[in-house]
Structures are given as C-alpha cells and as structure tokens.
Structure 1
Amino acid sequence: MMEVYQDILFYLGIFVVVASLVPLIRHDFWIFRVFEYPRLQKLTLNFLILLLYTLCFPIATARDYILLMLLLLNLIYLCWQIFPFTVLASKQVIQSTLPVGQRNIQLLIANVFQDNRKYADYHQLIKKCSPDVILMVETNQWWQDKMDSLGSEYPYQIKIPLENTYGMLLYSKLELLDGSVKYLVEDDIPSIETEVKLPSGELLKLFCLHPRPPVPQENPQSTERDKEILLVAKKAKESRYPSIVIGDLNDVAWSYTTELFSKISELLDPRKGRGFFNSFNAKYFFLRFPLDHVFCSADFTLTSISRMNSCGSDHFPMCINLQYDPKAIAQNDIPTADQDDKELFREKVNAETD
C-alpha cells in the first residue's frame, strides 16, 4: 500500500513540475494560459510533496532522486517568480509621504457577479471606502437601477449596462472630461476612457477594462484579451496626462502578458513589494488569484491599498488611494520594453481575431 501512495505522490510531483513549465510555452490556447494563474498554489503543493516524499518514503531509486531534484529546482523557480509580490521585495510604487490632499484619488474596483443580488452590501461598502471613483463590472440594467441612487453624490457617470456579464458602471465624484466607450477588439466587450479632474484641477487619464478570459466556456484563446490589454498599454504610454488603468483584466499580475503590458505602458503595479491582494475567487480559499488590477504611471505614489470584504460576488472589491506626485518619477521603479518586448507587442496587437 505504501508503494501505491508513493507512486501517487510521485506522479503528483511530476504534474506540479510540468504545470510550472507549461506557461513558458507562449501560446494563446487556454490550456497554456490557465496554468499561469495558480503560482502560489503550485509553490505550496510543490513544498508539501517534497516534504512528504522525503519524510514518508525511503529514497532508494534513481527515480526518487530525480523527482526530489526536480521538485527542489521547481521550488526555487517558483519562489523566484513570486518574490516580487512579497513584502521582502522592493516596492515598485513608493509610499506617499505627503498628507492626503487635493492630489489624491481613491478608487474602488468591484466585479459584482451579475447574478448576485446583494446590492445593499455594495452601498455599505461605498460608504465605508468613500471612493472618489467607482468602477463596477458584470453590471446589467438591474444593477444600474440599484446603484443609480449614488447619483446625488457621484454625479459624473459613464454607464454601459449589458446582459452578457461585460457591462460596466463608472460613478465619480470628480469631474469626468472627454469620456468615451470603446470596443477595442470585440463588439460586445466595452472599455472606458476618460479624463478625471483631481481636486487640485490637474487632469489624469483613466482606462477601465474587463476583457474576456481565456477559458473554454468564454473563449478558448487569449488572443482577444491580450490584444485589448496591450492596446490600452499603448494608449496609456502615449497619453499626455498621468495614467491609471483599472479593472478585472482576467489575467494574473505575473503573467507574461501583464508584464508586457507594464513594460509597453511603463505603468507600475502598486502590489509589487506589498503582497498578492488575491481578489478572485472569494468563495474558495485555495483558488485565489490577483485578477482585479490598478496600474499607474510613475508620477504617482501609493497612500493605501486594501482588499475589501466580499459582497456576495466571487470577487473581492479592491480599494486603492493614489497620490499624484511628479517628483516620484525619480524614485519609482519604471519598467521598460526592450526590442524583443516591442516585437512581441506588435505580434500580439496585429494577431488575427475571430
């Protein structure tokens, strides 16, 4: 019986190693992309298998030594991968040192889960978080009807209620200028672009996204998602204003597409050096990934970032406070694209979509 258990653990260990290497194959088919998501889960399983195999079974054959060597190397590789999102790493966006003032903007991002009916919980959350700008996604007409009472406090609005789980509602206390709805890649997947006037009178550019994920029931390829994300990267890089990109990108913070997005846009991830802030799945503790994002240009500092309590959705809302500070450019860690990155960018934005 012990041999059976040892065989099970052996093949499970091989699976974890293979699952860690599959994302290195840069193919758009979903099976290659889905293994990018559970990086922390793979690290945990890898460590447990290595520990159990060493403690519970005799290490006697070449197969045993090969497995342990592979698991050890994979453990080191996975630790290296997650390190930028631990508190031991340097912060990509420096902490604000100035008091909260007219250059601050508080953002709330919430994927509400279209069939969720706990709208009152979101009203309570908004009172608690007191954001300047609210982005809600997976919102249909029912959700708009339930949230439009925010209008007295949030008079600036861009609303695209849809029944396909890709609706968006944007409510703002701050004035929105030149706001527009874009369909960058797919005719039924909107995004929002708008300028936001800070209390100081300065303008920033805000991009709101919720592309379709690469899963069999939605889209077996990541081509459309990657293309939309990277087109926004180009827009943010070319913007004459400080830029912020927010939304449920249906991609993890460490995927090669997100990293390419960051290099092309030169936008920063406030989570780096602070933690994972896993926002999905709120219902399953071990299956959580950072899918809800905020990226900002290098002329911002971070005042606060929090994952808020779930309001009945499968996503946790994210609340973040950024402070515009042009002096931060000299201190923030700005990603840059090399020639290979630029070629990959061109390949992806020119890819044929269905």
Structure 2
Amino acid sequence: MLEKLQIVKQRFDEVSDLIIQPAIISDQQRYIALNKEYKDLRVLMDKRDQYIELSNNLAEAEEIIEEGSDGEMVEMAKMQYEEVKEKIPLLEEEIRFLLIPKDPEDSKNAVVEVRAGTGGDEASIFAGDLYRMYTKYCEGRGWKVELMDFNEGTSGGFKEIIFEVSGEDVYGTLKFEAGVHRVQRVPQTETQGRVHTSAASVIVLPEAEEFDVELDMSEVRIERTTSTGPGGQSVNTTYSAIKLHHEPTGMIVSCQDQKSSHKNLEKALKVLRSRLYEMELAKKEAADSAKRKSMVSTGDRSAKIRTYNYPQGRVTDHRIGLTLYDLQNIVNGDIQKIIDELQLAENTEKLKADGDLI
C-alpha cells in the first residue's frame, strides 16, 4: 500500500510545483485541470499521513509487547495494538477506493434533461415531480440550478424540462440518475382509484466547456422566435426565444427562459455543446474495447433504472436491487443514500476490473 501511495506522492509533489508556474497559470485549461488533480491528490496525501501514523503506532506497540519489561506499558501497548489493527483495514479500504482512476468528466457541471414518457398527462406531472426532487437535492448540496428550457404539460408538470447544475463534482454524482424512471400511483385524473404506471426519462450530460468542443457556427442555423407559454410582458411580443439547428447532426436545441435573446442563445449553445460532447464521449467509449462495461452508470437511455411505488411507499433501484421504504423523503430530494449505494457498486466493479488495486 505504501509503495502505491509513494507513487501518488511523487505526482502530488510534481503537481504542487506545476500549479505555481506562470506558464501554467496563464494556460487556463491546464491550470483548472491541475488544480482539480491537486485537490484530489491532497485527499490521498492526508490518508497517506494517517496510514503512516497508524503503521508507526502498530510497530511501536509490537516493540513494547515484545520487550515485555514493564507490565503496565505492555497492557497499554496491547490495547493500542488491537485498536490500530482494527483501523488499518478500514483505512486501506478507503485508500483503495481513492486510488481508483477518476473519470475526468466527473468534476464537470451537468446539463439535465427530464422528459415525460408513456402515461400522458400523468407522465408530465411525474416529470415535474422529478424536476422538483432534483432541485431540492441540489439545493441541499449547495449547488446552483439554472433553468434552460421547458415545455409545460397540459395538466401540470412538464413534457420536457432542461436545466443546468453547477457545483463541485456535479456530473460524477448526477450521472447515476440517467435512464427511465417509472412511477406507480393513482393519477389525479383517475376516478376509479386504479393504480397507473407512467414513466419519464432523465438524461444527464457533462457540461462542455468551449475548449472541449470546437463548434463551427457556420454549421449552426439560428432561428429567433417569440416565446410561448404563460404570462410575462415579453411572451409573444419580442423575438427573444432561440432555436438552434445543428446541420451535420440534425440536432435541434431551443431556449426561451430568458427575456434576452443573447442570454437564450448563450444557454442554447451550452446545451448544444454538451450534447455534441456526449456524442464524442460515447464514440470514444465504444471504440475502446477494453473499457469496462458498467451496469450502474449505463449509457442506455431506454433502461428502466428506478420505480417509485406510491401505494407501498417504496422506491426500488433495479440496477443494484436496492429497495427503500422512504418514498416521501426521497421524492422531496433525499436521494443521497441511493447515490451512495450506486457509487459504491460502481467502485466495487472498478476494483474487480483493476485487480492490481485490490
């Protein structure tokens, strides 16, 4: 373990030296990447210090017990020995997980798209419930949520809603939410009291910086229209809504959240870049035959990942077989326990795939 940590220390010392060099500071892209790496390595260095301290305490206790000259000291040493022997395996497990190579996209902000699926009006209402669940979760994490575009349902909720989440390690956390979410409950419109099943899909994209994607604006047709939807002086009066047509892919992105045409264009370009970036990532992963296939953060958008059963107060994540009877708190944003379990499952998969870390 110490040999692996020594290699990490060499890299930490190297990064510590690099981030204070003027040439690096002036290269914004590299400086940001190295700063992120420094923070991640700093956590490992703290664990390394703890590990060295525990190893020294263990060796000291063994020495006193072996010497056996002072009975009282031997008893104290035995207690210390047992205590340290318990702590070391737990710390080693923490370090193993920290040594797993991180996906460079994990530290990015995220663009989240929630779309109503099967179930008509009830699906739109459920999409609205998911949006509310995510906004409450993000608020609890101290992350910023910014609405980018939406299309309201006829009986409430949203046919589609797109929002950006900014903060620390956002994509690495929210990527586990991508897939089809299913709800089982009695809809407000149901007169017979029958339980219906509806669905909504969640897409989570790593937000692309300008240097991640070279967007050729000659291939983007910009359409300016009046905003649609309820209330507001600018609705149906000014040409502030933006629709982008990306000619090579046929991709269309709309944004009408802001009164300013310039701000809507900025947001729409951000969504377009993120979608194009995700396409490139998907191609890269498909081309890399050695890449581990994860059942947890699956790229299959049609995969049913979670069911919210209201009559039983139950939420089941089908990827890891996790069932929690805490539906009300979960739909109110308390999804951390689910994400923790998914992250643990993925890290365990990575450990199995990378046997040299075990």
Bigger radius of gyration among the two: 2
**Whose helix fraction is larger, Structure 1's or Structure 2's?**
2
TM-score (norm 1): 0.26
Using CA pairs below 8 Å that are at least 6 residues apart, which structure has the higher relative contact order? Answer: 1
